[in-house]
Structure 1
Amino acid sequence: MAGSAVAVAATAVLVGVTLPGSDGSGDRQTNAAASKQDAIAKDGVVQAAPKEGEKGIGSDPLTDAEIERAEKASVSGQMRSSARDVEGDRGPQLLSTNLSEPEPSDSGAAVPRRAEVVYYDYKQDAVITKTVNVETGKVENANTTRNVQPPPSQEELAEGARLLIADPLGKGLKQDYKHATGKALTGPGQLQLSGMVFRKETVERVPSSLTECGKHRCLQVVTKVKSGPWIDTRALVVDLSSRTVGRLG
């Protein structure tokens, strides 16, 4: 959707078509979440999924225990006190936790399992990536980059929707929600959310309010009435770094 210039209407409009992201693709993704199932069908019989162990083996997805250990180890005291999350609270914003690829130097059967934990620090507008050995709990590598924008977390999408609802440019969103449900839209919990990072190079003309996007963390939030229609908000861009909303076109 962000791949070309978007022709926009004066307000958000209800659309009855299926848009990408209907599965809540903004949710934090982990290897473990991708592999877990509540049940396994075998010979036509639904069986309970096997109990997950504390540790995975080889290229198995990270277990819940490994994810918890990696995330706990990756946030140092200094990082916890100096960084800021999407709501401005202390500590960085967690984006994702996934199994790392083996290092080129790894060899033999005893290759350690590592997790790559990715954060966004809104205080310095930077992506912080920590590589954690989940067996020892040791951070083996840390990297900070700017002007790089990974996919958003569900917490960021929720905050983006909250800013949209509160902003004058969100008037059309609230009107369309009212029209669809008969109720007032007061918070992101009333919506099904997905979305993507806004890349300003994909549009012909960038409004002055959005020129910092790329350096700042900017999202296009895709909204849907729960068990109802989509509300097209693609023309609205939320700058989470400055906590402002801009309109394309």
Structure 2
Amino acid sequence: MKEGPDIAALATLLGDPARANMLAALMAGRALTAGELAREAGVMPQTASSHLSRLVEARLLVVEIQGRHRYFRIAGPEVAEAVEAIMGLAANLGRTRTRPGPKDPALRRARICYDHLAGEMGTLLYEALAAQGLIAATADGVGVTAAGRARFAAEGIDIGALEARPRPVCRACLDWSERRHHLAGSLGAALAQTILARGWARREPDSRAVTFTPDGLAAFRAFLGPEEGARRAG
């Protein structure tokens, strides 16, 4: 292809195993040092520095300097959503690791995808919001309905304030483990923050995994609605 976006250059950056592991580690939404990312990638610090320089130059990562430390994070939600989409494509094509790690069941149950809820619980949330008519398909993808604006306002989420931000309010993000959609965008982030702030769930240390408490799971079921909550969020 002689015209249009250069997907080959981007694919080359994402296709390196060490860089892919670094990006996957940063999908937790936290900033990590070069040393931490070197361990995640299984490479020497000097090699990690070279990889990170390329990712920063390509604007896939940004670097923040605090004192003597440099912290790296994913450059923005559009990068995170692209990485999640590639994970979903890999899963659909059977391109999975031959040795699943011990945290895989927890990650599949519930995890943070950059800043929103993913995994089984994330897809349940998306489907329940759609079933209740709080979000609906639009010409641009998915959007908040009038009923949704009122419901989210009652939950302390101001849709008008989210609309004032440059980020899309709603985006359907293909979940790599469930192969269904979960809710991304600023509303997805706000809902994830609400779940954590209310103590329904907690983030596990050094992991993307999210664990719901027994009381939190009951509250989440109630939020999903009686039908969806009773049927699936067990």
Is the shorter-chain TM-score for this pair beyond 0.5, marking a shared fold?
A: no
Normalising by structure 2, report the TM-score.
0.25
Q: Say which structure is richer in strand.
A: 1
Normalising by structure 1, report the TM-score.
0.24
Q: Which has the larger radius of gyration?
A: 1
Q: Say which structure is richer in helix.
A: 2
